[in-house]
Structure 1
Amino acid sequence: MLFQRSQLMEGMTVRSSDGEKLGRVFAMGDDAFHIEKGLFFPKDYLVRYADISDIRDGEIILMHGRDSLRSFSSEDKYGTSAGLGTSTAATDLRASADTTGAWGNARRTEETTIPLHKEELDVTKREVQTGEVRVHKDVVEEVKTVSVPVRRERVRVERRDVNPDRPAMNASFQDETVVVPVRAEEVDVSKRAVVDEEVVIRKDSFEEERRVAESLRHEEVEIRNSDDADDKRTLNLGPDDPTLRRR
């Protein structure tokens, strides 16, 4: 499988086929990419995309083993068969140099852009339950006394004199019982439910300021010339790289 430039990113870790960490990608061209200088390589090296065996978990795996790459480094032999080459002032993607030759005195300038990243806060809000209010209703019984006026009938019997000459009409001279009903009012009690009062629960929302603090990281670049004693660079290096130097 032939990998393309679009599948690589600056800062990706490069390893040999046997797992040796070689460095990180610091620049990319159309046909090859540069591995930064580290303890394994005394110089920056150019690797062709065709020499990539696989890309796993964001890391680039080359087709060459650790021993073969170390022998190349010690002998300074990097040809087309290994797919590696030294990064001189004329081929280094980051360098600007004066060159002379058949073209006469001419100044050639090449440049590349190295992105520096930083973290920013992304604040979002979400609703959570911070408490609750419970309203409980209890049933209470009480005795209520009400006075209700009622009517009832009572019987009074009296005798009175009449005119003796008054004729008796329909006199049957038989035993007879006259029934006079006596009535009274009774009280019947029933109950019905009515609304006595209401309890209203209201929730009001209000805003308050809350301060949040979080540690943010950003990248800094330190460039040292080859004239320096240790010739260390910190371009897009990870925290586990032995050549890392931070300010």
Structure 2
Amino acid sequence: MREGMVVRTADGERLGTVVRAGEDTFVIEKGLLLPRDFTARYEDVAEVRGSEVRLRRTRDEMIPGPWLKKREHEEVVSLGTFGAPQELVVELAHEEPHPRTVVREVGQLRIHKVVRTEVRHFSIPVRREELVVERLPVTDEAHARSLEGTPVPGGAAPFEEVSFVIPLREERVEFTKSTQVWQEVRVSKAAQEELRTVRTTVRRETAEVEERGEVLHEGPVDGLHS
């Protein structure tokens, strides 16, 4: 049992709505202009279906409860002199939604540069010196050149122990590096418009009229429930 549930009697008459639920009993309020309440026990409930409660008792069998204390906005209204045309206008308000758009951050794009090292392979021809040692027989021509005073490398004389150092050279590859731009990352932001269906809840006031005593009126009372 919860507040706001519609309560009907055993013969299907709408008795009111639940306004307070206790341990053993619950209070049913009916009426807007002249509200009154009834007290029912949980054992009086015959069936609960959705948001409706059906009792085992009829309206005449219900236990009248104490009048609910007046709400702060309730007041006694005088309709004028007896016998004169009288009219009471009760304004019923409703909420009207006015949608608008607000800017909210929904995400971020973060870009940062990362330096990675990779290996590049090059095929470059290089030169190197190699020493070729030949042993040749001495001919008369070579002997004649030696007699003519051809210098011996290092100035060594015959029968003098000496060592000759002949350097051998080769080409090696060295790198100089320059910075080049190989790619650009361009990020642009554009606003896209889309049609989005949204919904909200609004409140509407309705009038619930309760007849007490001999009240004459034209048309059904339910016609006021709109």
TM-score range, shorter chain: 0.3 to 0.5
Flag the structure with more relative contact order, 1 or 2, with Cα contacts below 8 A and sequence separation at least 6.
Answer: 2
Q: TM-score, normalised by structure 1?
A: 0.40
Q: TM-score, normalised by structure 2?
A: 0.43
